Each structure stands twice: as C-alpha cells, then as structure tokens.
Chains A and B, each alone.
Chain A
Amino acid sequence: MVIQTLVLSATLICALQAIRAPRLLISALWLAGCSALLALAIALLGAPEVGVVELSVGAGLVTIIFVFAINVAGEETIGMTSLVPRPLAWALMCVFLFLLIWLTLPGLVSPALPQDTLPFLRALWDARSLDTVLQVALIFSGVLGSLGLLAERRETAHSPRQAGAEGASS
C-alpha cells in the first residue's frame, strides 16, 4: 500500500509539472512521466493488461505525437495571464470536485452489486465485443482525419505566387 501511495503521489506531481512547465517540450515529457507512473500504479492495483496498454499507447505513442506536433507548430511562449481570472478558476474547480464527490460517493460506499468473476479477456472480447469493433472503427477514423488535417494545401499549377516565382526565375 505504501508503494501505491508513492507511485500515485509521483503521478500527481508529474501531472502538476506538466501543467506548470513553461516550455511545451518539457510539458510533453512530464506528461509522458505521468503516464508511465500511472501505468505502474494501474499494474500495482491488479490490472496489468490495462497498465501495458497505457504504457505503450499513453506514454509511447501519445508522446511521439506530441513531440511531432510541437516540432511542426514550433515553440511559442505565451504568458500565463489566463482568460478566466484565477479566483474564478479555483472556485469552478472546487465546484467541479464537490459535484464529483457528491454524485459518485454514494455508489462507492455501498456497492450492493453481486461479485463478478468473469476473466478479463473474456469480458473484453466476448461480453464487450461491440466496444472492440467500435474502437477499431475509431482508430481508423482518427488516422484518416489526422491525415486530412495534417496535409498541406495543394498548390495549383496556375496560382499567382507560383506564376510570379516562375517569372522571376526566367
């Protein structure tokens, strides 16, 4: 239990640093650390399959995508003065936490549900097979959408800029 507490505390510290870090690349690296520690915590909580998926996808793939996006978009230092005033942000955060605790605590204190000993792989592939099919569709739509969004605008052969460049070179 001490190990779980330490790992989850380190996860929270990494998450806080990811929000506070001024540079984007450092922020992405703190997020990767947060994700790796969360994967360790989930594995310690008795779900090693989810931990492995979180480690490979959350800490690996998402970090690579973040670094790629930061390279393409470029580093940009933006001041910390926010659109929402700080006291209002704190108040909204407290309201959110209060609602979260108030709405979920009754279900957590008295879980009057029968125990379920379904194995994880059977639950994933048999009981929730529709989820798995939808995940595959989601992945493909995400890949296609990102390809469409990342694509450069196609320059037409008779665009004015290109015609001017040709005229200047000749």
Chain B
Amino acid sequence: MTGDVWTIAMVAVLGLAAIGIYGLLILRNLIKIVVALQVLAKGTILVMVAAGGIAGKPAIGQSLAITVIVADTVVTVMALALAIQVRRWCGTLDTRVISSLRR
C-alpha cells in the first residue's frame, strides 16, 4: 500500500472528526447528538486502521478497530435508551429545555 493512500485516509479522518465535533457543539436534539458522536467514532475506526497500516502493524490496528466498533455500539445503545427516557420524563429532546441547571 503506497503512502498516498494513507495520507488520503488521514485527511478523511480529520474531516470526520471536524464534522463530529462541530455537530456535538451546535446540535440541540439529543438523538442528533448521538448521530454526531457516531460520526466521530467512524473517524476513530478509520484512524485505527490507517495508523496500523502506517506503523507497519496492521493486525494490531485492525483488532483495536474492532474493539472500537463494539464499544461504540454499546455507547450508542445506552445513549439512545437515555434519550428515550429523557423524552418520556421531560416530554422533549431539546437540550435547551431539559437543562435544569439554568433555573
């Protein structure tokens, strides 16, 4: 695998990380926030594979990428379950409305 391919992969990682961080900062809907977290995790998966390829240890990078996929899925399930409970108890998914620290 040539070095240029890994450079493109790292640029894509930066793009995914930027989109995820920007979404986490500006979004107000709890489920959309989980979507932004997923985009950030996709960047993490890609960087694990790319870093393994760059460092010459692809097997370690790929096994860590699988660990990231599993952990990220569990985090998503728990976050969505929490969002459903918030919707059930507060009646909304808007982070501006459910923030009780402002009162």
Interface residue ranges, A against B (CB under 8 Å): 1, 4-5, 8-9, 11-12, 15-16, 18-19, 24, 27-28, 31, 34-35, 38, 41-42, 45-47, 49-50, 53-54, 57-58, 61-62, 65-66, 69-70, 72-74, 76, 78-84, 86, 88-90, 92-93, 96-97, 100-101, 108, 111, 113-116, 118-120, 122-124, 127-128, 131, 134-135, 138-139, 141-143, 145-146, 149-150
Contact = CB atoms under 8 A, between A and B. Distances in A.
B31 A69 contact: yes
Interface of B: 1-2, 4-5, 8-12, 14-23, 25-29, 31-32, 34-36, 38-39, 42, 45-46, 49-67, 69-71, 73-74, 76-78, 80-85, 87, 92-96
Nearest to B47: A104
A30 B14 CA distance: 19
A54 B67 contact: no
Contacts of B96: 83
Given A1-B2, A138-B71, A143-B77, 6 more contacts: A11-B42, A12-B16, A31-B35, A78-B28, A81-B28, A142-B78
A28 B35 contact: yes
B45 to A, nearest CB: 6
Contact of B60 (A50, A76, A123): A123
Contacts of A82: 25-28
Nearest to A145: B78
A150 to B, nearest CB: 5
Contacts of A142: 73-74, 77-78
A108 B69 contact: no
Contact of A86 (B26, B50, B65, B85): B26
Contacts of A74: 87
A11 B45 contact: no
B59 A123 contact: yes
A108 B76 contact: no
11 contacts: A8-B9, A9-B12, A12-B15, A19-B19, A24-B32, A28-B35, A42-B65, A50-B49, A73-B93, A76-B94, A123-B62
A149 B42 contact: no
Contact of A15 (B19, B31, B87): B19
A81 B85 CA distance: 24
Contacts of A116: 56-60
Contacts of B93: 73, 76, 78
